């Protein structure tokens, strides 16, 4: 390699329409001061070279949307790491996440989505005080969601959906005061929705659907005035649908179908719809169990009515 290249600190490959093939080049590790590697959205195969884990100045590694296999090399977890962003989502990688991930103290973004990682999610992740964005959805992680995630007070985005997480939603997630996007859909979670989640004043997306959650939807849900999307559908929630949803005035999507709620959908919630001529964006989608005869949850203004008996939904209302 040309010695003049060893001082390079940044390599960014334009990936639009490039369709790069082959394996990741080990020669990049010879660039002594290299800080960023972006080789996403290609057709690269093989494993991540272990030597990348020894690149002491590397802070940003973006390899998502390729066809990479194997697991994260152990070298990434040995010695001091200055890596701030690791994005290896949308590949075909597997294995477990090393517990030593908790020593990568500069890590701000961890994206492992759409792979086949498995095993319990390391509790040591709670040591990463700078973590702001974490997407580990669409894997095969199992066991309980670590309560230690509640220590990540800088976290704005947490995607845990489409895994095999069990047990309850940790109440400690209510300590994530900066969270705007919390998704734990399509797992095997049980128990009730922690009251602490209703204190997440910045949350915009709260998606708890397709689990086995029980108990009621608290009247405190009306406190979430910045929330755009509330999805609690396909659970085992009971009791009345809280009229206090009307106070969550930013809502655009409310999905409460396929539960065991009783009584009608409160008409006060209909006030969240805004006439198009008003020039203001309001509620767009309200879906409930209002299709059967008699309907479990009669609804005056639902955009979609679903049938618990036939598990089908029918669009009814347009704003």
Do 234 and 258 share a domain, yes or no? yes
Do 18 and 93 share a domain, yes or no? no
Do 86 and 203 share a domain, yes or no? yes
Binning pLDDT at 50, 70 and 90, where does residue 17 land? very low
Burial of residue 308 (number of CB atoms within 10 Å: 0-12, 13-18, 19+): middle
Non-local (6+) Cβ contacts of 165 within 8 A are 121, 141, 142, 143, 144, 145, 184, 187, 188, 189
Cβ atoms within 10 A of the Cβ of 137, count?
23
Q: What is the pLDDT of residue 7?
A: 60
pLDDT of 195 strictly over 80? yes
Could you tell me whether strands 94-96 and 253-255 are parallel, antiparallel, or unpaired per DSSP bridges? unpaired
Per-residue buried b or exposed e for 266-293, using 16+ beta carbons within 10 Å of the residue's own CB: beebbebeeeeeeeeebbbbbbbbbbee
Phi/psi region, residue 95 (left: phi>0; alpha: psi -120 to 50; beta: rest), is left
Q: Which of 52, 51, 64 is nearest to 15 (CA)?
A: 64
Q: Which of 2, 78, 83 is nearest to 37 (CA)?
A: 83
Binning pLDDT at 50, 70 and 90, where does residue 33 land? confident
Give, as one character, the DSSP assignment of residue 245. G
Do 27 and 145 share a domain, yes or no? no
pLDDT of 281 strictly over 60? yes
Binning pLDDT at 50, 70 and 90, where does residue 13 land? very low
Do 96 and 178 share a domain, yes or no? yes
Do 22 and 86 share a domain, yes or no? no
The string of pLDDT tens digits covering residues 106-147 is 999 999 999 999 999 999 999 999 999 999 999 999 999 999
Do 308 and 232 share a domain, yes or no? yes
Q: What is the pLDDT of residue 162?
A: 98
**Average pLDDT score over residue span 44-48:** 97
What's the structural domain count of the chain?
Answer: 2
Binning pLDDT at 50, 70 and 90, where does residue 316 land? confident
Do 35 and 144 share a domain, yes or no? no
Q: Which of 228, 226, 230, 229 is nearest to 218 (CA)?
A: 230
Query: Dihedrals φ, ψ of 67, to 5°?
Result: -130, 40
* Distance set, CA 283 to CA 46, 56, 203, 227, 250 (Å): 46, 49, 17, 11, 8
The last residue of one of the domains, among 42, 76, 110, is 76
Q: What is the pLDDT of residue 8?
A: 64
The last residue of one of the domains, among 25, 56, 76, is 76
Cα–Cα distance for residue pair 128/115, rounded to 1 Å:
22
Specify the pTM.
Answer: 0.93
* Distance set, CA 1 to CA 28, 45, 55, 233, 287 (Å): 10, 23, 17, 57, 60
Do 177 and 63 share a domain, yes or no? no
Q: What is the pLDDT of residue 80?
A: 86
Of all residues in the chain, the percent with pLDDT exceeding 90 is: 86
Q: What is the pLDDT of residue 31?
A: 87
The encoded tokens of residue 105 equal 């103290």
Do 175 and 41 share a domain, yes or no? no
The last residue of one of the domains, among 76, 94, 123, is 76
Cα–Cα distance for residue pair 202/197, rounded to 1 Å:
11
Do 113 and 237 share a domain, yes or no? yes
What average pLDDT is seen over the chain?
92
Do 165 and 247 share a domain, yes or no? yes
Question: Structural domain of residue 186, as residue ranges?
Answer: 77-315
Place of tokens 């689990």: 211
Could you tell me whether strands 304-307 and 312-315 are parallel, antiparallel, or unpaired per DSSP bridges? antiparallel
**Average pLDDT score over residue span 160-171:** 98
The domain that holds 54 is classified in CATH as 3.80.10.10
Q: What is the pLDDT of residue 255?
A: 98
Query: Dihedrals φ, ψ of 101, to 5°?
Result: -55, -25
Q: What is the pLDDT of residue 10?
A: 64
Place of tokens 């973004």: 109
């Amino acid at each position: 390699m040309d010695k003049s290249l060893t001082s390079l600190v940044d390599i960014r490959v334009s990936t639009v329409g490039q369709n790069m093939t082959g394996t990741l080049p080990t020669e990049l590790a010879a660039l002594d001061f290299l800080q960023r590697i972006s080789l996403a959205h290609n057709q690269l195969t093989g494993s991540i070279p272990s030597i990348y884990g020894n690149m002491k100045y590397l802070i940003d590694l973006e390899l998502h949307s390729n066809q990479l296999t194997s697991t994260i090399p152990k070298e990434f977890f040995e010695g001091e790491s200055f890596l701030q962003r690791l994005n290896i989502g949308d590949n075909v990688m597997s294995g477990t996440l090393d517990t030593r991930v908790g020593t990568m103290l500069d890590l701000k973004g961890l994206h492992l989505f759409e792979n086949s990682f498995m095993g319990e999610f390391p509790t040591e992740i709670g040591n990463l005080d700078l973590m702001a964005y974490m997407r580990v959805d669409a894997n095969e992680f199992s066991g309980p969601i670590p309560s230690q995630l509640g220590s990540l007070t800088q976290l704005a985005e947490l995607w845990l959906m489409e895994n095999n997480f069990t047990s309850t939603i940790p109440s400690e997630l209510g300590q994530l005061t900066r969270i705007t996007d919390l998704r734990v859909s399509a797992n095997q979670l049980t128990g009730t929705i922690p009251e602490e989640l209703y204190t997440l004043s910045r949350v915009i997306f709260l998606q708890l659907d397709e689990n086995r959650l029980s108990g009621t939807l608290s009247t405190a849900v009306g406190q979430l005035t910045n929330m755009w999307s509330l999805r609690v559908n396909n659970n085992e929630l009971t009791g009345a649908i809280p009229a206090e949803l009307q106070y969550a005035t930013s809502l655009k999507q409310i999905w409460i179908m396929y539960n065991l709620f009783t009584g009608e959908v409160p008409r006060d919630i209909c006030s969240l719809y805004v006439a198009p001529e008003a020039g203001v964006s309001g509620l767009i989608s309200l879906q409930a169990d209002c299709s059967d005869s008699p309907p479990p949850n009669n609804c005056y203004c639902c955009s979609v009515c679903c049938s618990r008996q036939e598990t089908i939904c029918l669009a009814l209302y347009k704003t």
